[in-house]
Amino acid sequence: MPQLGNSQTGVLKSTPKITRINGDDNLKVIYRNLGNNHAYPFEFGLTTLVNSGADTVLASGIKFHGFELASYSNIQTTVTSGVQDGHVYIDKDTVNNVITIKSTGSNSVEVDVKFMVGIDPVIENMNCTANYTYMPALP
């Protein structure tokens, strides 16, 4: 059978592995368990206050298994309270590995922030095996 031995391959030609995912009882964190008591957070969230005219440093110098958070993360922000009279945005300083949240408005706002750690996938290269041929597994 030609489909035996074929597997889904990623950007680095790695075979997908079964990964144990753990959530924290109280914290807004989901961990990827790597075995041997090694785990790292790959998705986590926080709520922060952005004062008018001031920048808020969210993370500085954080690395997970050699990946700098400023270079290898996707960050989403949502204003949850306060009157937003400008733009709230993320500034990533990949040279110094510092992530700052900034606001162009004059009001203080509360912001929910969600981080997802990892490199960007190439969607066109994500394949799955179906009906003896490779078919794109599009979202």
pTM of the model: 0.69
Q: Encode pLDDT of 42-101 as tens digits.
A: 888 999 999 887 889 999 999 887 889 999 999 999 999 888 888 889 999 999 999 999
The total domain count for the chain is: 1
Judge whether 113 and 42 are in contact, CB under 8 Å. no
Does residue 91 form part of some domain?
yes
Top-confidence residue, 9 or 64? 64
Does residue 129 form part of some domain?
no
Q: Which of 33-37, 104-108, 121-125 has the highest mean pLDDT?
A: 104-108
pLDDT on residue 34:
73
Buried b (16+ CB within 10 A) or exposed e, 53-83: eeeeebbeebeeeeebbbebbebebebeebe
By residue range, what is the domain housing residue 106? 23-120
